[in-house]
Amino acid sequence: MRLFTIDENKCTRCNFCAIDCPTQVIQSAAKETVPVEIVGASESCIDCGHCVAICPTGAFSLESMIKSECSEIDKKNLPGDEHMAAFLKSRRSVRRFKDKKLSHGELSDLIEVARHAPTGSNKQKVEWTVFEESEKVNKFASLVVDWTKSLAGKIPDEKTAATMAKIGNSWDRGNDSILHGSPHLILVHAQENLPSAEADCVIAMTYLELYAASRGLGTCWAGFLNAAANSYGPLLNELNLPEGHKCFGAVMIGYPKYQYKLIPERKKANINWR
Ligand SMILES: Cc1cc2nc3c(=O)[nH]c(=O)nc-3n(C[C@H](O)[C@H](O)[C@H](O)COP(=O)(O)O)c2cc1C
């Protein structure tokens, strides 16, 4: 089967498709011809769709990607650099949530955007598990607390041991310092042995987190839960991730109870200019 077809009447022989192809499977147009695929192109192509996206006249059709399903980029919908910088610096981890749930559609919308995050070799093997019920989220928090308690006396680092003990004491006094009473929890996971699994998942969750912030939602990474999710049997059983999957990120999500007025200062960037 052919990897792609090019409409000869529309093709301007600009060769942008060949020049931009990351796997170099498109041979530039010769004098009278349009670009053609090299031998073995199908095996090397990573389906990134750059060829379709870059064609200025819509002449390029990739077998695996219907052009009509690709949205056009509307430049006036893109944020300017100042807006982008202000937005990124203003995002905060939110740990106090309103007693209000996100709808199924709102949660799906977030993943719909996050699936556009880059993945190693465009593998797109990131998977999501969304817990919509707060009762379930609360149960996970209690299991993480059990995990911290099970580690008592086994952690050599004093500071970490003290933090773990504090979590348990706090829980016993009625405070959830693990998932902060979040109404929902989103996990991102992938086959552990996939070469870029961790980076793919973390980037995807970062996309989700940023998009959520742009919609006025609050998120916070759940590092303790993520650690327990990959080591504590009772939690592993409850999460029930697909066989061979590792959890690479977890975020609490809900409507923020409070708003921030200032951008807290951060350490100066440590840059080694060479
Ligand atoms: C990988 C990762 C794990 C985190 N885990 C937790 C956590 O378990 N609990 C929590 O309250 N905050 C957690 N955070 C949030 C950080 O504490 C927060 O990003 C940091 O204090 C800076 O605040 P800001 O996100 O508002 O800029 C985590 C953040 C990251 C990136």
The CATH number of the domain holding residue 9 is 3.30.70.20
What confidence score (pLDDT) does residue 242 get?
Answer: 97
**Residues 129, 18 share a domain:** no
φ, ψ of residue 271 in degrees (nearest 5)? -115, 130
Q: Whose CA is closest to atom 20 on ligand 1?
A: 93
In this structure, the answer to whether residues 190 and 109 fall within a common structural domain is yes
pLDDT in tens, 237-267: 999 999 999 999 999 999 999 999 999 999 9
260 in a structural domain: no
Residue 194 lies in a domain: yes
Q: What is the DSSP letter of 72?
A: P
Q: Does residue 176 share a domain with residue 54?
A: no
State in Å: Cα 182 to ligand 1 middle. Answer: 14
Residues 188 and 120 in one domain: yes
Q: Report pLDDT for 184.
A: 98
Give the distance (Å) from ligand 1 centre to CA of residue 94.
Answer: 9
* Tokens 């099970």 sit on residue: 150
Q: Which of 219, 212, 201 lies closest to 118 in space, CA to CA?
A: 201
Looking at the structure, tell me whether residues 42 and 178 fall in a common domain.
no
Identify the CA nearest to 259 among candidates 224, 213, 221.
213
Q: How far apart are CA 149 and CA 169, in angstroms?
A: 9
Tokens 């977890």, located at residue = 250
Q: Please, is 229 exposed, middle or buried when counting C-beta atoms within 10 Å of its C-beta (0-12, 13-18, 19+)?
A: buried
Residue 266 forms part of a structural domain: no
| Interval 106-113 mean pLDDT | 98
Query: In a mutational test of the pocket of ligand 1, which residue from 176, 221, 258 has the highest number of ligand atoms less than 8 Å from its CB?
Result: 221
Pocket test for ligand 1, best of 93, 178, 226 (most atoms within 8 A of CB): 93
Distance 178 CA to ligand 1 centre (A): 11
What pLDDT, on a 0 to 100 scale, did the predictor assign at position 205?
A: 99
- On the question of pLDDT at 31 being above 80, the answer is no
Q: Assess if residue 183 is contained within a domain.
A: yes
- pLDDT at position 16 is 97
Q: How far apart are CA 36 and CA 171, in angstroms?
A: 64
Furthest C-alpha separation in the chain: 78
Enumerate residues 6+ apart whose C-beta is below 8 A from 172: none
Residue 203: inside a domain, yes or no? yes
Cα 208 to Cα 251: distance, rounded to the nearest angstrom = 10
Q: What is the mean pLDDT of residues 197-219?
A: 98
pLDDT of residue 32: 80
Split at pLDDT 50, 70, 90, the class of 54 is very high
Instruction: Mark whether 174 and 225 lie in a shared domain.
Output: yes
Residues 38 and 144 grouped into a single domain: no
Dihedral, 120, 235, 178, 195 alpha carbons, nearest 10:
-10
For ligand 1, residues with CB inside 6 Å are 92-93, 95, 220-224
In-domain check, residue 245: yes
> Span 45-72, mean pLDDT?
93
Q: Which two tokens stand for residue 165?
A: 């003990």
Of all protein residues, whose CA lies closest to atom 17 belonging to ligand 1?
A: 93
Tally the C-alpha atoms within 13 A of residue 150's C-alpha that lie toward its C-beta: 12
Shortest-distance atom of ligand 1 to CA 222? 8
**80 found inside a domain:** no
Looking at ligand 1, which atom is closest to the CA of residue 266? 27
> What is the distance in A from the centroid of ligand 1 to the CA of 129?
20
The yes-or-no verdict on residue 226 having pLDDT over 90 is yes
Q: Whose CA is nearest to atom 19 of ligand 1?
A: 93
Mean pLDDT value of segment 15-21: 97
Residue ranges in the chain assigned as alpha helix (H): 16-20, 41-44, 50-54, 81-90, 104-114, 134-150, 158-172, 197-214, 223-229, 233-239
Whether residue 216 contacts residue 262, with contact meaning beta carbons closer than 8 Å, is answered with no
Average pLDDT over residues 205-223: 98
Q: Is residue 265 part of a domain?
A: no
Q: Residue 93's beta-bridge partner residues? A: 219
Our count of domains for the chain comes to 2
pLDDT tens string 136-192: 999 999 999 999 999 988 999 999 999 999 999 999 999 999 999 999 999 999 999
Planar angle of CA 176, 223, 120, nearest 5 degrees: 150
| pLDDT band at residue 214 using 50, 70 and 90 as cut-offs | very high
Tell which residue, 55, 48, 57, 53, has the closest CA to residue 15: 55
CATH of the domain at 181: 3.40.109.10
Given 13, 35, 69, the domain boundary residue is 69
CA of 79 to the centre of ligand 1 (A): 26
Looking at the predicted structure, is the pLDDT value of residue 18 above 90?
A: yes
Domain that holds residue 185: 85-254
- Of 25, 41, 69, the one marking the end of a domain is 69
pLDDT for res 30: 82
Residue 125 has pLDDT above 80, yes or no: yes
Do residues 13 and 122 both lie within one domain? Answer: no
Confidence at residue 67, expressed as pLDDT on a 0 to 100 scale:
81
Cα→Cα distances 202→40, 88, 124, 146, 248, Å: 33, 17, 13, 26, 7
Nearest CA to ligand 1 atom 28: 221
- Kindly state the percentage of the chain with pLDDT values over 90: 94
